[in-house]
Amino acid sequence: MSSAPEKPLRHPETAFRTIGDEGGLVVMSGRQEVKVLNPAAIKIFTMLDGEHSREQIAEAIAGEFDVSAEDALKDVNAFIDDLAQHGMLNATP
Amino acid sequence: MSETPQTNPYRDMMGKAFANAIPLNAQFEITYRCNHLCTFCYNSPTGQRELTTPQIFEALKKMADFGVLYLTLTGGEAMCHKDFWAIAAETRRLGMALRVYSNGFLLGDKKVVNRLAKLGPHEVEISLHGARPESHEALTHIKGSFDKTVQALDNLVEAGIKVNLKCPITKLNQDELIGVRDIGEKRGLFVTFDPVITPKDDGNQDPLSLRPDDAFFERYWGELYQELHHGKLPPRANHCAAEGSEANCGTARSGFTIDPYGNILPCVAFRRQVANILEIDSLERIWRTSPVLNEVRDLAVQASDELRKHKDGQYFQFCLGVAEVQTGDPLGIYPQAEVNAGAVRKTYELLQIEDKNDGRKSA
Ligand SMILES: C[S@@+](CC[C@H](N)C(=O)[O-])C[C@H]1O[C@@H](n2cnc3c(N)ncnc32)[C@H](O)[C@@H]1O
Ligand code: SF4
């Protein structure tokens, strides 16, 4: 479990776009990094606004995708940790 | 859950966005003001009042709400806008990746570049018109502009900003393209050359007088292109078209342009007015319902069909906007495209002959 905050906020230098039902792209401006995200991941990313807790995000994922709340929370945590490692979360929301 | 680009998921995603006409890019010409006087510049100000800064902010908000990912500030010289910094900061605040197209003059100052670096721009594209002050300044008509622009390249690299260098090919620089490439490569930059000089946006054909002659382009596609690009073969399609797409290019599909008066256009070259951004509530709705945009999308597909019938069809780089201002018909084949396609075909034919003769590999 990372030290990423309970109501995570994406890094202000990220830009993202949902592309139809396919998922989406996240650009880390200033670093020329682009990530391709699947539909669940882009949904999580859009909710990293500093207002939703990990549990709320997991609930939304479980509601929209065919996954249990427990598994959704695991996925959300893993994804958020990965983003934090890549410097894509704001350290101080 | 994620993949880095250059692998297939990235290309697939871009392909899907292209196929479904989900625009990722917008070019925003925030002003026609400029500190250069390039003889060939396609800009054609009409004398109307340009958008005010609050109106520019409103337009940016609409583009961000629409989901634009890459927002390019251009012009004119975007950096000559009195509120350039506020506009660039607002672009970033709204979560869009910032690109700037610039002649580099103001970026010759390190303090300016450091200020830009703080905004975390995605990339900056700089135009260079020759490898020597004489040639560059014969086009820009601004003394000292070559040194400033080259200094800008150094400043940007030093500040860690990604830079692309671009050079439209003219009679003034046709003999020093290797020198231009070397200026870029010495600094680790990606360098592109534009083989098409376009008429002005108002239809004035004067810029075409700066286009090198056909013999040059035979040589360019036959030898020089590969020399400039370290053996890479010439392209056989528009760079803005997704692989395997039925559309000729990305006009009204991968992005759009907003001019300094707020007019929404299918792209920077195909300047049919769609609507004014101040007069619409949502870009999403206009993007899907505009008869102009739908017609342009259809025309881009028709262009591909028409080109396939041409003997050099598979070698064409074709711009509907240039076709319309040059021939009056967006599907009309204009001489520059035809000459280029013919020369590219010959290059490929020659390589196949060499293949047979000495077993060398071509494309
Ligand atoms: C209009 S400028 C705006 C950005 C900036 N002022 C600059 O010069 O880079 C955009 C690009 O178009 C190129 N350009 C201008 N007029 C042209 C023309 N008639 N044909 C081809 N390229 C042209 C410029 O050299 C520049 O690379
Ligand atoms: S610097 Fe760019 S906008 Fe200015 S005159 Fe030259 S091409 Fe046109």
Q: Does residue B361 register a pLDDT over 80?
A: no
Q: Tens digits of per-residue pLDDT, B254-312?
A: 999 999 999 999 999 999 999 999 999 999 999 999 999 999 999 999 999 999 999 99
Average pLDDT in chain B? 92
Across chain A, mean pLDDT equals 87
Which residues from B are below 8 Å from A34, CB to CB?
4-5, 10
Give yes or no for a contact between B41 and B103, defined as CB atoms under 8 angstroms apart: no
Q: How far is A29 from chain B (nearest CA, A)?
A: 5
Confidence of residue B245 (pLDDT cuts 50, 70, 90): confident
Which of A13, A14, A16, A17 to mutate against chain B (most B CBs within 10 Å)? Answer: A17
This complex has an ipTM of 0.81
From CA A39, how far away is CA A18, in angstroms rounded? 8
Residues of B in contact with A26 (CB under 8 A): 2
Q: Domain ranges in chain A?
A: 14-85
Please determine, for residue B360, whether its predicted confidence score (pLDDT) is greater than 90.
Answer: no
**pLDDT at A31 (0 to 100):** 72
> Would you say B135 and B151 are in contact if contact means Cβ atoms under 8 Å apart?
no
Q: For residues B19 and B134, which has the higher predicted lDDT (pLDDT)?
A: B134
Which protein residues are within 6 Å of ligand 2, measured from CB? B 34, 36, 38, 41, 43, 75-77, 103
**Structure letter (DSSP) for residue B222:** I
In sequence order, the 6+-apart residues with CB closer than 8 A to the CB of B263 are B273, B274, B275, B276, B277
The residue nearest atom 5 of ligand 2, judged by CA position, is B38
Q: What is the pLDDT of residue B314?
A: 87
Give the closest-approach CA distance of A22 to chain B in angstroms. Answer: 7
Contact B289, B262 (CB under 8 A): no
Q: What is the pTM of this model?
A: 0.92
Does domain A14-85 sit in CATH 1.10.10.1150?
Answer: yes
pLDDT tens sequence across B6-56:
457 888 898 889 999 999 999 999 999 999 999 999 999 999 999 999 999
Q: A31-71 pLDDT, tens per residue?
A: 777 889 999 999 999 999 999 999 999 999 999 999 999 99
Q: What Å distances lie between residue B303 and A19, A86, B319, B326, B331, CA to CA?
A: 26, 43, 9, 15, 6
Closest ligand 2 atom to the C-alpha of B140?
Answer: 6
Q: A77-86, B146-155, B242-251 — which one is most confidently predicted on average? A: B146-155
B74 within ligand 1 shell (Cβ under 6 A) = yes
Structure tokens at B317: 């780089």
